[in-house]
Amino acid sequence: MDDFIAARSQMALSLGFHIIFSCIGMVMPFFMAVSHYKWLKTNDEVYKNLTKAWSKGVAIFFATGAVSGTMLSFELGLLWPKFMEHAGPIFGMPFSLEGTAFFIEAIALGFFLYGWNKLNKWFHWFTGMVVGVSGLASGILVVAANAWMNSPAGFDFVNGKYLNIDPIQAMFNKAWFSQALHMCLAAFTATGFAVAGVHALMILRNQNKEFHLKAFKIAAIFACIGALLQPLSGDISAKDVAKRQPAKLAAMEALYKTEKPAPLLIGGIVNEKNKTVKGAIKI
């Protein structure tokens, strides 16, 4: 394995690990906030216990996501130094803002975890909402940096140098909205069904049914709404890729020959030698 493939493999593994915890960190605070709100409105102790249980999970996943995210920031500089040398000044703003959102999230989480019976009950709930909003903002800002790689903007390339840098235009590039929307909905859908699945298992095992049923309902509602909206965001994102990066769409669909109309494939096994896809459902 050469250095290039090794670097890409390490980056893929690190990103694959980090995105699990970042998605949970983006979404679970909203589950926690809904449960907390229901306790404040109904005074049902089950919702209070659920909020405290979920807050412990949020804290653990936040810490894990922070560590794995820090590792990724080091990898960007160590594995791709030339890229960061040129691109860093252009899309550095969303990374900086993401760091700001991260620290706001950390401070708010501290207030929430240690604010029971110490803070005004509605201010305490508000700090939980801040955890969710800042976590979601962190994800959107990081996606903005990734979107810039797919749709570079905000600079002029003159004689091998990047001039007239506009960080606002770079951050809000043409790919930003479709990618951010798709990522956020994916996070809500995946996390919602995962959390609902855990509580559904506990219900089947007859373990504290009332507690797990309330938890299941909250998570499932978020997941179902996300699942309904996700195909729409996926369609927007795919059309954007088809418009700006047709070669990438062809690679995504394993389309080796130019065709019109070209089918979209579901499943199948790619044969790189013969440049065919066997067993795929064509649409």
pLDDT digits (tens, 9 = 90+) for 195-246: 999 999 999 999 999 999 999 999 999 999 999 999 999 999 989 998 998 8
Q: At 255, is the secondary structure helix, strand, or coil?
A: coil
Q: At 117, is the secondary structure helix, strand, or coil?
A: coil
| pLDDT of 1 strictly over 80 | no
Strand 281-282 relative to strand 265-266: parallel, antiparallel, unpaired?
Answer: antiparallel
The pLDDT value recorded for residue 19 is 93
Name residue 224's amino acid. Answer: C
Of the pLDDT bands very low, low, confident and very high (cuts 50, 70, 90), residue 153 is very high
How does pLDDT run across 55-90, given as a tens digit for each residue? Answer: 999 999 999 999 998 899 889 889 999 888 888 888
* 121/115 Cα distance (integer angstroms): 9
The pLDDT value recorded for residue 211 is 96
Report residue 148 CA to chain centroid gap: 16
Q: Tokens 């309902």 sit at which residue?
A: 217
The pLDDT value recorded for residue 105 is 95
Q: Tokens 């493999």 sit at which residue?
A: 9
Of the pLDDT bands very low, low, confident and very high (cuts 50, 70, 90), residue 41 is very high
Domains in the chain: boundaries: 3-252, 255-283
pTM of the predicted structure, to 2 decimals: 0.90
Give the H or E element holding residue 269: strand 269-271
How does pLDDT run across 92-136, given as a tens digit for each residue? Answer: 899 889 999 999 999 999 999 999 999 999 999 999 999 999 999
Average pLDDT of 271-281? 84
Of the pLDDT bands very low, low, confident and very high (cuts 50, 70, 90), residue 271 is confident
Q: Tokens 């894990």 sit at which residue?
A: 64
* 209/24 Cα distance (integer angstroms): 24
Average pLDDT of 18-28? 94
Q: Extract long-range pairs of 74-80: CB within 8 Å, 24+ residues apart.
A: 75/10, 75/11, 75/14, 79/7, 79/10, 79/11, 80/7
The pLDDT value recorded for residue 57 is 93
Q: Which burial class, exposed, middle or buried, applies to 207 when counting CB atoms under 10 A from its CB (0-12, 13-18, 19+)?
A: exposed
The pLDDT value recorded for residue 277 is 86
